[in-house]
A and B are shown apart, each in its own frame.
Chain A
Amino acid sequence: MNTASAVDISRLVDTEEGWVDRSIYWDPDLYAQELEQIFARCWLFLAHESQLAKPGDYVTTTMGQDRVIVTRKRDGEIGAFLNSCPHRGNVVCHAEAGNTRGFVCNYHGWSFGLDGALVGMHEQAAFDRSPGFDRTKLGLTPVAQVATYKGLVFGTFDPGAPSLAEYFGDFTYYLDVLLDNDEGGTEFLPGCISSVLNCNWKVAAENFAGDALHAGWTHDSGARAMLGKGVASVVDGESYQANVNGHCWEFNLDLLGNAATLGDRAILRYLREREPAMAERLGPTRARMVGSMASVNVFPNFSFLPGQNTFRVWQPRGPQQIELQTWVLVNRNAPQEIKDAYRKGVMMTFAPAGVFEMDDGENWEYATRANDGVVTRRQRLYYGLGLGTATTHPDLPGNLYRGQVNDANQRAFLGRWAELMQADSWDRVTS
């Protein structure tokens, strides 16, 4: 598995002084190594349980570049399998989502159950006469581990990966801000928006991991056009960057900062009215994070924005391309008009035609493509903002940094990336 010896990864990322080699955003060899070392080993986001409400429900997605089907099996458990027939390799499910009895390959009629097992095929008698043919060994290849955390379903191809709970560690404290601020739990609104961006997946992941800096500059004109005023300054309020095991959350404690960009007062009223109940459930500090100016990346490529409630996966499609899948998360018990308000608000802001998404896409594509220049490649990138801001807070676990205008989380994200790129075993990865 370990191909890390080909390139000295530790030379590429300097988290002590904040320097990054541009090759990590364009080198095809490093990208191939990422698919092995990161995407074939880490826990990756697959689905929200609300997308798999009843037996037979399924979604298709990818883990890295591997196509997978995620199903609600007849026994009620969630299964995940490679979406590729063991006979000639064809994709066995072409739909994004639906409800089915199983999956039949278009090519030769091999048929698979919701548990991935091979049920039968066209001209079965001929196969049965073939020496050594064993139907039980020819099911869809299962994803090694599948687990859920408060409605979110994750999978890893690595049977030796730590449990999902260990993988998250104390980061669940932060995840609960969105996943557990109401007793009814959460759901995805129906539908997934897919789009393609010509950027490296890490450029997007880093942005959500900890780039509060860009908000007041990149999105200033969009905010003025949408809301009549620019993005509020994030320097003055009480704000932090926190990270655990490479999972990153940068945030203010302003309750409403992100939610306000959706431009719907009903959402702000909803959050204000619920603050006491959320504080009872999560404590006063986390209650102030629910809709605040904040952004999150769960390592490696699952991101979301509290307040806007847009959830997304940056699916790698080569060193300079991603396929972006986005959904909208709401509390299951929220009134329908609030769910509708979130859906409309996200369409206007963080969808392919949303004002803020377009701002980001332009920057990310050029931030990736400029590295093509052979001379440009020699210049390291500066990641030193906020060195020396480590701090502590009685309520906030993990590695904590003062001030959300900071590169601390991006350094932590890339530090975790470098560690996994080099480690041939999870025993060598810190937790």
Chain B
Amino acid sequence: MRRLEICPAEDLPPGEMRRVEVPGGAPIAVYHTASGFHATADTCSHALASLTDGDLEDEEVLCPVHWARFDVRTGEPQCFPATVALAVYRVEVVGGVVTVLHNEEEEEVA
């Protein structure tokens, strides 16, 4: 288990998302929605697109290439052409800092 400190919570206001590079791993997308902070794999499970180049709308992120939609809380695809769920990661705010709990085993299960 790795703890990735992303940024102070006030730097990621509601409605925004950011891409985080993970040394030795796939990039992660961190979102702030009405329901709180969430994190998924940043690469679309269909084509090779960065989801943070797309749009965050309510609880869904839209891929910029074919507009596949994913629920950022569960990683589940919501429409064609995506059929495979995104890996999801637990997010905590520790001392005002958004922190992603990055567990390679968890990633595979999700």
Q: Which residues on the A side are within 8 Å of B49 (C-beta)?
A: 119-120, 124
Q: Which residues on the A side are within 8 Å of B46 (C-beta)?
A: 122
Bound: A113/B66 CA distance, A: 10
Bound: A349/B13 CA distance, A: 56
- Whether B14 is near chain A, meaning CB under 8 Å from some CB there, is no
B48 touching A128 by the CB < 8 A rule?
yes
- Whether A98 is near chain B, meaning CB under 8 Å from some CB there, is no
Q: Write the B32-54 contact mask toward A (1 if CB under 8 angstroms, else 0).
A: 00000000000000111100000
**Given A101-B55, A109-B81, A125–B67 Cβ distance below 8 Å?**
no
Q: Which residues on the B side are within 8 Å of A128 (C-beta)?
A: 48
- Whether B65 is near chain A, meaning CB under 8 Å from some CB there, is yes
Q: Write the B47-77 contact mask toward A (1 if CB under 8 angstroms, else 0).
A: 1110000010000001011110000000000
Q: Which residues on the A side are within 8 Å of B47 (C-beta)?
A: 109, 120-124
In the complex, residue of chain B having the shortest beta-carbon distance to the beta carbon of A122: B47
Q: Write the B77-108 contact mask toward A (1 if CB under 8 angstroms, else 0).
A: 00001000000000000000000000000000
Q: Which residues on the B side are within 8 Å of A104 (C-beta)?
A: 66-67
Q: Which residues on the A side are within 8 Å of B67 (C-beta)?
A: 101-102, 104
- Whether A111 is near chain B, meaning CB under 8 Å from some CB there, is yes
B66 touching A124 by the CB < 8 A rule?
no
Bound: A22/B94 CA distance, A: 84
In the complex, residue of chain A having the shortest beta-carbon distance to the beta carbon of B50: A120
Bound: A113/B49 CA distance, A: 13
Q: Which residues on the A side are within 8 Å of B66 (C-beta)?
A: 104, 109, 111, 120, 122
User: DSSP majority for the A interface?
Assistant: mixed
Could you tell me the distance in whole angstroms from the C-beta of B47 to the nearest C-beta in chain A? 5
In the complex, residue of chain A having the shortest beta-carbon distance to the beta carbon of B63: A120
Within A123-175, the residues touching B (CB, 8 Å) are 123-125, 128
Bound: A190/B28 CA distance, A: 44
Could you tell me the distance in whole angstroms from the C-beta of B56 to the nearest C-beta in chain A? 13
Could you tell me the distance in whole angstroms from the C-beta of A124 to the nearest C-beta in chain B? 5
A119 touching B81 by the CB < 8 A rule?
no
Could you tell me the distance in whole angstroms from the C-beta of A121 to the nearest C-beta in chain B? 7
The listed residue (B55, B62, B65) touching A120 by CB distance below 8 A is: B65
Q: Which residues on the A side are within 8 Å of B65 (C-beta)?
A: 111, 119-121, 124
Q: Which residues on the B side are within 8 Å of A124 (C-beta)?
A: 47-49, 65
Within A371-400, the residues touching B (CB, 8 Å) are none
The listed residue (A101, A109, A113, A125) touching B48 by CB distance below 8 A is: A125
Within A99-119, the residues touching B (CB, 8 Å) are 101-102, 104, 109, 111, 113, 119
Q: Which residues on the A side are within 8 Å of B55 (C-beta)?
A: 101
Known: A109-B81, A111-B66. 16 other contacts (CB 8 A): A101-B55, A101-B62, A101-B64, A104-B67, A111-B65, A113-B64, A120-B47, A120-B49, A120-B65, A121-B47, A121-B65, A122-B47, A123-B47, A124-B47, A125-B48, A128-B48
Residues in chain A within 8 A of chain B (CB atoms): 101-102, 104, 109, 111, 113, 119-125, 128
